[in-house]
Amino acid sequence: MLDPSAAPSIPPRPDLRRRVLAGEVTVGAFLNLGSPASAELVARAGFDWVVIDLEHGMSTEADLYPQLLAVQGTPTAAIVRVPMAGRLPVGRTLDAGADGLMIPRLETLAEIAETLTWMRYPPAGVRGVATATRGAGYATVPHAELASTVNDRVLGVFQVESAAAVDVADAAAAMDGVDVLFVGPADLSHSMEIPGQVDAPAFLAMLDRVVAACRAHGKGAGILLQDASAASSIVARGFTFIGVGSDSGYLTNGARRTVRAARAALGA
Protein backbone atom coordinates (compact mmCIF):
# COMPACT_ATOMS: atom_id res chain seq x y z
CA MET A 1 0.00 0.00 0.00
CA LEU A 2 1.32 3.45 -0.93
CA ASP A 3 2.38 5.71 1.91
CA PRO A 4 0.80 9.17 1.34
CA SER A 5 3.66 10.79 3.23
CA ALA A 6 6.07 9.50 0.57
CA ALA A 7 4.33 11.45 -2.21
CA PRO A 8 6.21 14.33 -3.91
CA SER A 9 6.02 17.73 -2.26
CA ILE A 10 2.65 19.37 -2.78
CA PRO A 11 2.76 22.96 -4.08
CA PRO A 12 3.77 25.58 -3.32
CA ARG A 13 7.26 24.25 -3.98
CA PRO A 14 10.15 26.13 -2.36
CA ASP A 15 12.90 25.91 -4.97
CA LEU A 16 12.11 28.97 -7.10
CA ARG A 17 11.94 31.41 -4.19
CA ARG A 18 15.21 30.06 -2.82
CA ARG A 19 16.92 30.44 -6.21
CA VAL A 20 15.59 33.95 -6.78
CA LEU A 21 16.70 35.21 -3.36
CA ALA A 22 20.12 33.62 -3.93
CA GLY A 23 20.54 35.89 -6.95
CA GLU A 24 20.28 33.18 -9.60
CA VAL A 25 19.22 34.25 -13.09
CA THR A 26 15.97 32.52 -14.04
CA VAL A 27 14.05 32.54 -17.32
CA GLY A 28 10.30 32.28 -17.74
CA ALA A 29 7.35 32.78 -20.06
CA PHE A 30 3.76 33.99 -19.89
CA LEU A 31 0.75 31.77 -20.56
CA ASN A 32 -2.03 33.74 -22.24
CA LEU A 33 -4.07 31.12 -24.08
CA GLY A 34 -5.85 29.51 -21.13
CA SER A 35 -4.98 26.05 -22.43
CA PRO A 36 -3.64 23.23 -20.23
CA ALA A 37 -2.01 21.69 -23.31
CA SER A 38 -0.23 24.94 -24.14
CA ALA A 39 0.76 25.33 -20.49
CA GLU A 40 2.30 21.86 -20.40
CA LEU A 41 4.11 22.30 -23.73
CA VAL A 42 5.70 25.56 -22.59
CA ALA A 43 6.58 24.16 -19.16
CA ARG A 44 8.23 21.14 -20.78
CA ALA A 45 10.38 23.42 -22.95
CA GLY A 46 12.70 24.00 -20.00
CA PHE A 47 11.69 27.35 -18.50
CA ASP A 48 12.37 27.94 -14.80
CA TRP A 49 8.90 29.42 -14.34
CA VAL A 50 5.76 30.37 -16.19
CA VAL A 51 3.12 32.97 -15.38
CA ILE A 52 -0.50 31.91 -15.81
CA ASP A 53 -1.99 35.28 -16.70
CA LEU A 54 -5.43 35.99 -15.22
CA GLU A 55 -5.07 39.74 -15.81
CA HIS A 56 -4.55 40.02 -19.58
CA GLY A 57 -4.71 36.40 -20.72
CA MET A 58 -7.72 34.37 -21.81
CA SER A 59 -7.90 32.35 -18.59
CA THR A 60 -10.63 32.66 -16.01
CA GLU A 61 -10.40 31.32 -12.47
CA ALA A 62 -12.11 28.17 -13.73
CA ASP A 63 -9.20 27.58 -16.12
CA LEU A 64 -6.55 27.93 -13.42
CA TYR A 65 -6.56 24.52 -11.75
CA PRO A 66 -5.96 22.39 -14.88
CA GLN A 67 -3.11 24.69 -15.93
CA LEU A 68 -1.50 24.41 -12.50
CA LEU A 69 -1.66 20.63 -12.77
CA ALA A 70 -0.19 20.73 -16.28
CA VAL A 71 2.73 22.93 -15.28
CA GLN A 72 3.46 21.36 -11.92
CA GLY A 73 3.77 17.93 -13.47
CA THR A 74 7.10 19.31 -14.75
CA PRO A 75 10.03 20.92 -12.90
CA THR A 76 8.81 24.36 -14.00
CA ALA A 77 7.29 26.57 -11.30
CA ALA A 78 3.78 27.95 -11.73
CA ILE A 79 3.29 31.62 -10.91
CA VAL A 80 -0.14 33.16 -11.29
CA ARG A 81 -0.76 36.78 -12.18
CA VAL A 82 -3.98 37.58 -10.35
CA PRO A 83 -6.43 39.95 -12.05
CA MET A 84 -6.11 42.41 -9.16
CA ALA A 85 -4.81 42.67 -5.64
CA GLY A 86 -7.53 41.53 -3.27
CA ARG A 87 -7.99 39.13 -0.38
CA LEU A 88 -10.12 36.67 -2.36
CA PRO A 89 -8.09 36.60 -5.63
CA VAL A 90 -4.88 36.15 -3.63
CA GLY A 91 -6.25 33.59 -1.19
CA ARG A 92 -8.08 31.44 -3.72
CA THR A 93 -5.08 31.35 -6.05
CA LEU A 94 -2.76 30.27 -3.24
CA ASP A 95 -5.30 27.67 -2.08
CA ALA A 96 -5.19 26.21 -5.60
CA GLY A 97 -1.45 25.61 -5.15
CA ALA A 98 0.36 28.37 -7.04
CA ASP A 99 4.10 28.43 -6.44
CA GLY A 100 4.03 32.21 -6.50
CA LEU A 101 1.91 35.24 -7.27
CA MET A 102 2.45 38.18 -9.60
CA ILE A 103 0.58 41.23 -8.34
CA PRO A 104 -0.27 44.02 -10.80
CA ARG A 105 -0.98 47.73 -10.45
CA LEU A 106 0.20 48.54 -6.92
CA GLU A 107 1.74 51.97 -6.41
CA THR A 108 1.84 52.60 -2.64
CA LEU A 109 3.64 50.92 0.24
CA ALA A 110 0.33 50.57 2.09
CA GLU A 111 -1.17 48.58 -0.80
CA ILE A 112 1.88 46.32 -0.98
CA ALA A 113 1.96 45.76 2.78
CA GLU A 114 -1.73 44.82 2.87
CA THR A 115 -1.32 42.42 -0.06
CA LEU A 116 1.54 40.68 1.73
CA THR A 117 -0.74 39.96 4.69
CA TRP A 118 -3.16 38.12 2.38
CA MET A 119 -0.29 35.92 1.15
CA ARG A 120 0.74 34.54 4.54
CA TYR A 121 -0.88 32.54 7.30
CA PRO A 122 -0.97 34.00 10.83
CA PRO A 123 0.94 35.27 12.68
CA ALA A 124 2.83 36.79 9.72
CA GLY A 125 -0.38 37.56 7.83
CA VAL A 126 -4.13 37.09 7.66
CA ARG A 127 -4.46 34.44 4.95
CA GLY A 128 -7.57 32.40 5.58
CA VAL A 129 -6.83 28.96 6.99
CA ALA A 130 -8.35 26.03 5.10
CA THR A 131 -6.09 23.03 5.60
CA ALA A 132 -7.85 20.77 3.08
CA THR A 133 -6.80 22.89 0.10
CA ARG A 134 -4.07 21.95 -2.36
CA GLY A 135 -1.99 24.95 -1.35
CA ALA A 136 -2.09 23.85 2.29
CA GLY A 137 -1.04 20.29 1.52
CA TYR A 138 -4.49 18.62 1.38
CA ALA A 139 -4.65 18.41 5.18
CA THR A 140 -1.25 16.71 5.46
CA VAL A 141 0.34 19.67 7.28
CA PRO A 142 -0.63 20.03 10.97
CA HIS A 143 -2.09 23.35 12.07
CA ALA A 144 0.93 24.04 14.27
CA GLU A 145 3.27 23.66 11.28
CA LEU A 146 1.20 25.31 8.58
CA ALA A 147 2.70 28.80 8.70
CA SER A 148 6.29 27.61 9.04
CA THR A 149 5.84 25.10 6.21
CA VAL A 150 3.96 27.20 3.66
CA ASN A 151 4.60 30.92 4.21
CA ASP A 152 8.19 31.02 3.04
CA ARG A 153 7.56 28.88 -0.04
CA VAL A 154 5.40 31.42 -1.89
CA LEU A 155 7.28 33.69 -4.30
CA GLY A 156 6.02 37.26 -4.27
CA VAL A 157 6.41 39.11 -7.59
CA PHE A 158 5.22 42.71 -7.49
CA GLN A 159 4.90 44.62 -10.72
CA VAL A 160 6.39 48.06 -11.35
CA GLU A 161 4.15 49.65 -13.94
CA SER A 162 4.27 53.38 -13.25
CA ALA A 163 6.59 56.16 -12.19
CA ALA A 164 4.85 56.15 -8.80
CA ALA A 165 5.76 52.49 -8.35
CA VAL A 166 9.39 53.25 -9.20
CA ASP A 167 9.37 55.98 -6.56
CA VAL A 168 8.57 53.43 -3.81
CA ALA A 169 10.74 50.64 -5.24
CA ASP A 170 13.48 50.86 -2.63
CA ALA A 171 11.10 50.76 0.32
CA ALA A 172 9.06 47.99 -1.32
CA ALA A 173 12.14 45.84 -1.94
CA ALA A 174 12.97 46.13 1.77
CA MET A 175 9.73 44.29 2.67
CA ASP A 176 9.90 40.59 3.47
CA GLY A 177 7.81 38.78 0.88
CA VAL A 178 8.49 41.24 -1.93
CA ASP A 179 10.89 38.88 -3.65
CA VAL A 180 10.84 40.33 -7.18
CA LEU A 181 10.09 43.78 -8.52
CA PHE A 182 8.92 43.09 -12.07
CA VAL A 183 8.92 45.90 -14.61
CA GLY A 184 6.10 45.95 -17.13
CA PRO A 185 7.76 47.88 -19.98
CA ALA A 186 4.55 48.75 -21.82
CA ASP A 187 2.69 50.11 -18.81
CA LEU A 188 5.73 51.91 -17.41
CA SER A 189 6.57 53.60 -20.71
CA HIS A 190 2.95 54.66 -21.22
CA SER A 191 2.77 56.07 -17.69
CA MET A 192 5.88 58.10 -18.48
CA GLU A 193 4.20 59.40 -21.67
CA ILE A 194 6.86 57.80 -23.86
CA PRO A 195 4.80 54.81 -25.02
CA GLY A 196 6.92 51.92 -26.22
CA GLN A 197 10.15 53.90 -26.09
CA VAL A 198 12.02 51.32 -24.02
CA ASP A 199 15.42 52.56 -25.24
CA ALA A 200 14.80 56.15 -24.15
CA PRO A 201 17.31 57.45 -21.57
CA ALA A 202 14.52 58.36 -19.15
CA PHE A 203 13.10 54.83 -19.34
CA LEU A 204 16.51 53.22 -18.87
CA ALA A 205 17.06 55.43 -15.83
CA MET A 206 13.85 54.01 -14.34
CA LEU A 207 15.13 50.49 -14.95
CA ASP A 208 18.36 51.32 -13.16
CA ARG A 209 16.44 52.61 -10.14
CA VAL A 210 14.51 49.34 -9.88
CA VAL A 211 17.70 47.29 -10.17
CA ALA A 212 19.42 49.41 -7.52
CA ALA A 213 16.51 48.88 -5.11
CA CYS A 214 16.57 45.13 -5.63
CA ARG A 215 20.34 44.89 -5.24
CA ALA A 216 20.25 46.92 -2.04
CA HIS A 217 17.85 44.47 -0.41
CA GLY A 218 18.82 41.15 -1.95
CA LYS A 219 15.76 40.85 -4.17
CA GLY A 220 15.29 39.92 -7.83
CA ALA A 221 14.74 42.52 -10.54
CA GLY A 222 12.40 41.22 -13.23
CA ILE A 223 11.30 42.32 -16.67
CA LEU A 224 9.39 41.02 -19.69
CA LEU A 225 11.25 40.91 -23.02
CA GLN A 226 9.70 40.39 -26.42
CA ASP A 227 13.08 39.59 -27.97
CA ALA A 228 14.98 36.76 -26.28
CA SER A 229 18.24 37.98 -27.84
CA ALA A 230 18.10 40.97 -25.47
CA ALA A 231 18.46 38.70 -22.45
CA SER A 232 22.23 39.05 -22.15
CA SER A 233 22.14 42.85 -22.17
CA ILE A 234 19.30 43.04 -19.66
CA VAL A 235 21.12 40.65 -17.31
CA ALA A 236 24.22 42.82 -17.66
CA ARG A 237 22.03 45.71 -16.53
CA GLY A 238 21.24 43.81 -13.34
CA PHE A 239 17.98 41.97 -14.03
CA THR A 240 17.80 38.35 -12.90
CA PHE A 241 14.14 37.33 -13.35
CA ILE A 242 13.69 37.36 -17.12
CA GLY A 243 10.44 36.79 -18.98
CA VAL A 244 10.84 36.02 -22.67
CA GLY A 245 7.54 36.07 -24.53
CA SER A 246 4.34 34.09 -24.25
CA ASP A 247 2.58 31.03 -25.59
CA SER A 248 0.36 33.22 -27.79
CA GLY A 249 3.44 34.95 -29.19
CA TYR A 250 5.23 31.66 -29.84
CA LEU A 251 2.17 30.35 -31.71
CA THR A 252 1.72 33.53 -33.74
CA ASN A 253 5.38 33.85 -34.66
CA GLY A 254 5.74 30.16 -35.50
CA ALA A 255 2.65 30.19 -37.69
CA ARG A 256 3.82 33.28 -39.56
CA ARG A 257 7.28 31.83 -40.17
CA THR A 258 5.77 28.61 -41.47
CA VAL A 259 3.43 30.40 -43.87
CA ARG A 260 6.24 32.61 -45.19
CA ALA A 261 8.50 29.57 -45.70
CA ALA A 262 5.76 27.66 -47.50
CA ARG A 263 4.90 30.58 -49.80
CA ALA A 264 8.58 31.20 -50.52
CA ALA A 265 9.05 27.53 -51.44
CA LEU A 266 6.05 27.78 -53.76
CA GLY A 267 7.33 30.99 -55.30
CA ALA A 268 4.28 32.84 -54.07
- The helix (run of H) or strand (run of E) holding residue 187 is helix 185-191
56, 143, 190, 217: which is the annotated catalytic residue?
56
- Residue 168 counted as domain residue: yes
Q: How many CB atoms are closer than 10 A to CB 141?
A: 16
In total, how many domains does the chain have?
1
pLDDT, position 8: 53
If one compares 35 and 5, the residue with the highest pLDDT of the two is: 35
- Residue 35 counted as domain residue: yes
Residue ranges making up the domain that contains 24? 14-119+154-265
pLDDT, position 7: 44
Q: CB within 8 A of 16, min separation 6: which ones?
A: 26, 48, 49, 77, 79, 99, 100, 155
- Residue 230 counted as domain residue: yes
What digits encode the pLDDT tens for the residues 36-50? 999 999 999 999 999
What digits encode the pLDDT tens for the residues 108-141? 999 999 999 999 999 999 999 999 999 999 999 9
Mean pLDDT of 169-194: 97
- Residue 226 counted as domain residue: yes
pLDDT, position 106: 96
- Residue 149 counted as domain residue: no
Tell me what percent of the residues of the chain surpass a pLDDT of 70: 97
Q: CB within 8 A of 28, min separation 6: which ones?
A: 47, 48, 49, 50, 51, 79, 241, 242, 243, 244
- Residue 3 counted as domain residue: no
Integer Cα distance of 240 and 230 in angstroms: 13
pLDDT, position 2: 42
- Residue 26 counted as domain residue: yes
Closest CA to 100 of 80, 86, 82, 119: 80
Strand partners, 181: 158, 221
Q: 260: helix, coil or strand?
A: helix
If one compares 77 and 2, the residue with the highest pLDDT of the two is: 77
pLDDT, position 268: 77
Strand partners, 157: 102, 180
- Residue 180 counted as domain residue: yes
Closest CA to 135 of 59, 55, 78, 203: 78
Mean pLDDT of 174-200: 97
Q: What is the CATH number of the domain that holds 20?
A: 3.20.20.60
Verify whether residue 56 is a known catalytic residue.
Answer: yes
Q: Quick one: CA dihedral 157, 160, 165, 166, positive or negative? A: positive
